[in-house]
Amino acid sequence: MSKITERVEEIVTPIIQDLGFELVDVEYVKEGPDYYLRIAIDKEGGIDISDCALASEKISEVMDKEDPITDAYFMDVSSPGAERPLKKEADYTAAVGHPVYVKLYEEIGGDKEWLGELVKFDAETVTMSVRIKTRTKEIELPRKKIAKIRRAVIL
């Protein structure tokens, strides 16, 4: 399925950019008997329903011509929301100093999930400030062990 998402990204990126939006994420998944193509877009000040409808219309036109997906699928164009995934280096840069949630492929320090503030990052590691009981501690997580990382909303 990664080849499909890569191809869809190639197709939709120019469309999204022409509309003045940013392509945040493309996901193609099977849930039960159905396939879903989910495209997350954003712009300065946020995306609204009319932006999603416009992008969906433009993307559908081109996807019908290019036809990169042979299976029947449902397409969803939406905002990434407040808990937007960190995919690109610019996403990481914008998230420094903000809360993030990290899910790992394997445990580090006895946990596979971490919630804390993103302190810094480089090509190899992500450094977070996390609260463990009554103490705050900095931890380094290898990026190759990160399954998911996204912004977090802490109330």
Do 96 and 120 lie in a common domain? yes
Which of 45, 78, 111 is the endpoint of a domain? 78
Do 66 and 119 fall into the same domain? no
Range(s) of the domain holding residue 66: 3-78
Domain presence at residue 83: no
Answer with the one of 27, 55, 78 that is the final residue of a domain: 78
| Predicted local distance difference test score (pLDDT) of residue 102 | 96
Specify whether 74 is located in the same domain as 10. yes
Report the candidate in 126, 129, 8 with the shortest Cα–Cα distance to residue 76. 8
Q: Is residue 135 part of a domain?
A: yes
Verify that 99 and 66 share a domain, yes or no: no
| Cα–Cα distance for residue pair 18/62, rounded to 1 Å | 13
How many domains are contained in the chain? 2
Contacts of 108 (CB under 8 A, 6+ apart): 139, 141, 142, 145
Is the backbone of residue 126 left (phi > 0), alpha (psi -120 to 50) or beta? Answer: beta
Q: Report pLDDT for 93.
A: 94
Determine, yes or no, domain membership for 115.
yes
pLDDT of residue 154: 83
CB 12 within 8 A of CB 62: yes
Tens-digit pLDDT string for the chain (155 aa): 589 999 999 999 999 999 999 999 999 999 999 999 999 999 988 899 999 999 999 999 999 998 889 889 999 999 998 899 998 899 999 999 999 999 999 999 889 999 999 999 999 999 999 998 889 999 999 999 999 999 999 87
pLDDT at position 67 is 86
